[in-house]
Structure 1
Amino acid sequence: MPTSTAPPSGTGVRADSVDAIQRELTAFARRARSMASQIHPGLTLVTYTVLDHLHERGGCRGTDLATHFMLDKSTVSRQVASLERLGLVERTADPEDLRGQIIRPSTAGEQLLNDVRARRHQAFLQRLADWSDEDLERFAAYLTQYNDRA
């Protein structure tokens, strides 16, 4: 059986690095939560995330959202209802099962997402302007590797 050369997780440089990563990811998440209400006064991070997922998928059923986000159907239903009240999503009959409905971003929802992506892209460009191309490539690769393990 191979032995690990890494120090125990509770001590040393490795533990300090993990603590720093946790602290910085928490700060990143706080900024994301704060940004959701700046995007639209009625949005929360959860409703924004649902809207973005609907865009990425081209629409889906509420049960698919519940499965993806590991949430109760009633929780998803409340989030979708909130997005509907804001005019950011619309429902259409599911062509594969007429009893179900497909939820998609409305034209207003798509426009909001496009505006947010453009602003976010500019913010990242400004924040990372003095990073070298190599550092950006490494950072992107590390984030991808981290998220692929989720």
Structure 2
Amino acid sequence: MEKSEKRDDAGDTANAGGDQVMEALERELTLLLRRARASSGDMAREVHPDLEPAAYGILSRLHETGPERATLLAGYFGVGKATMSRQLRALEDLGLIRREPDPADGRAFLVELTEEGRSRFTRVREARRRRYVSRLAAWDRAELGDLARLLHRLNESQEGA
């Protein structure tokens, strides 16, 4: 073995433990994301039978932030402008969003929920929250807070990645 290939047995053990932790994290995140995608599809169909699963997240973001430019939405979700434009067009065709001129820049548009979009989204979100409350009723409130905090930290670390 060359000098650069020599390994410290203690380092190998530490790495193996770290690898197991990362493998467990990857496994659990993969399962969570798979279930979240399926759930997003269900929620999207509850909002409107023709709604694409990815579009539910756009409705959620607009509900949270209020009117926003399409370019900001594309950046937030990490998708291209063309993809965002297509998804927004579909939402607009379903009557769930509208585009209004941006008062700060007449060349740009702000995207916002319509009353119909807000109503449908709110109904589905409230039903989802009731399911979360039911499924997580046995959890300690501090654990739920820790989970929310850690997921927020994970999401922040992925911005711009």
Instruction: Give the TM-score normalised by structure 2.
Output: 0.77
Structure having the higher Rg: 2
- Among residues 54, 58, 64, which one is paired with 2:66 in the alignment? 58
**Sequence identity of aligned pairs in percent?**
33
Extract unaligned runs of 5+ from structure 1: none
Structure 2 match to 1:87: 95
Aligned to 1:22: 29
Counting helix residues as a fraction of each chain, which structure ranks higher?
2
- CA gap 1:97/1:5 in 2 versus in 1, 3 angstroms: farther
What letter matches 1:27 in structure 2? R
How far apart are residue 98 of structure 1 and its match?
Answer: 1.5
Distance 1:54 1:4, change over 3 A: farther
1:149 aligned counterpart, secondary structure: helix
CA shift for structure 1 position 6: 4.1
Residue 133 of structure 1 corresponds to which residue in structure 2?
A: 141
Deviations 1:12-59 (A, max 9, x none): x42442243233223332333332223321211221112222222211
What is the 5 A alignment of 1:84-123? 84-123=92-131
Q: TM-score, normalised by structure 1?
A: 0.81
RMSD of aligned alpha carbons: 2.5
Give yes or no for contact 1:7–1:14 (8 Å, CA) kept in 2. no
State how far apart, in whole Å, the 2-side matches of 1:97 and 1:142 are: 37
Name the SS of the counterpart of 1:71 in structure 2.
coil
